[in-house]
Amino acid sequence: MRPEEVRQLLEKVRSGEIEVSDALDQLQYLPVQDLGFARVDTHRELRQGIPEAIYAENKTADQVVAIARELLRKTTGPVLITRTSAEVAKLVLSEWSDAAYNSVARLIVLRPETESSPLGLVAVVSAGTSDSRVAEEAAAVADALGMKIERIDDVGVAGVHRVLAVQDRLHAADVVIVVAGMEGALASLVGGLTGKPVIAVPTSVGYGAAFDGLAALLAMLNSCAAGVVVTNIDNGFGAAVFALRMLRQKSD
């Protein structure tokens, strides 16, 4: 469409219908306006490989469905709906019978990645059963985006042997996502055990001075294990998308 307009402009330049200087003026204005954007939009999916996701909080069920429909039409990859309430889930599922709803992760996946060969192996390591909601989000998103998942749960630092026992599984992964609340120490421990890229996801699990995840967040940001990076509190989705960014690189 818009490139069409540029083409028409160029045709006019060629035919002499329009002066070069006038065309120049129009071009200086257009590109950052419309021309590029269809292109950028297309590029976005191709180049970024980051799926469009709908953050359902603060949106009505109708809004979510409308945006999902739009994305399904205009893009080709997976469409994810995160933080879905029961109400949203119900409406979406009634709309698309093949929608996959993960109630633990509060995630709906439409049109998941179905490539035969996974992009890589993501170890999702969680400290305790209470963190499973976030770990599940990380795992389910990564799965929907075509990564293979290795779940390692309930290996909190209070029983260090539990992590030590799975060192080889950590080393076998391409990227390790560590999910922990409370004092969030697991990130440092795992970061010290493996040289793999470690993405730390603090959770809001805990009470009192956990301050809804602040304690874990600060701990992970200050990890004495060099080279551990951190996402927002409870952001399993973000960790999985970062993993996608990394593994797409590798598979290039």
92 contacts 68 by C-beta, under 8 angstroms: yes
Measured from the CB atom, is 44 or 69 closer to a second copy?
Answer: 44
Residue (69 or 97) nearer to a second copy, CB? 69
CB of 140 to a second copy, least distance (A): 15
Task: Write down the least CB distance from residue 150 to a second copy, Å.
Answer: 15
Residue 54's φ and ψ, nearest 5 degrees, are: -110, 115
Minimal distance, residue 74 CB to a second copy, in Å: 13
Considering the complex, state which of residue 97 and residue 149 has its C-beta at the smaller distance from a second copy: 149
Nearer to a second copy by Cβ, of 6 and 100: the residue is 6
User: 25 or 98, CB closer to a second copy?
Assistant: 25
Q: At its nearest, how many Å lie between a second copy and the CB of residue 146?
A: 14
Min CB(43)–a second copy separation in Å: 9
Give the shortest CB-207-to-a second copy separation in angstroms: 6
Q: What's the 3-state SS for the chain?
A: CHHHHHHHHHHHHHHCCCCHHHHHHHHHHCCCCCHHHHHHHHHHHHHHCCCCEEECCCCCHHHHHHHHHHHHHHCCCCEEEECCCHHHHHHHHHHCCCCEEECCCCEEEECCCCCCCCCCEEEEEECCHHHHHHHHHHHHHHHHCCCEEEEECCCCHHHHHHHHCCHHHHHHCCEEEEEECCCCCHHHHHHHHCCCCEEEEECCCCCHHHHHHHHHHHHHHCCCCCCEEECCCCCHHHHHHHHHHHHHHHHC
Cβ proximity to a second copy: between 100 and 229 the closer is 229
Tokens of 91: 């409406």
Which of residues 83 and 93 has its CB atom nearest to a second copy in the complex? 83
Beta carbon of residue 80, minimum distance to a second copy (angstroms, whole number): 9
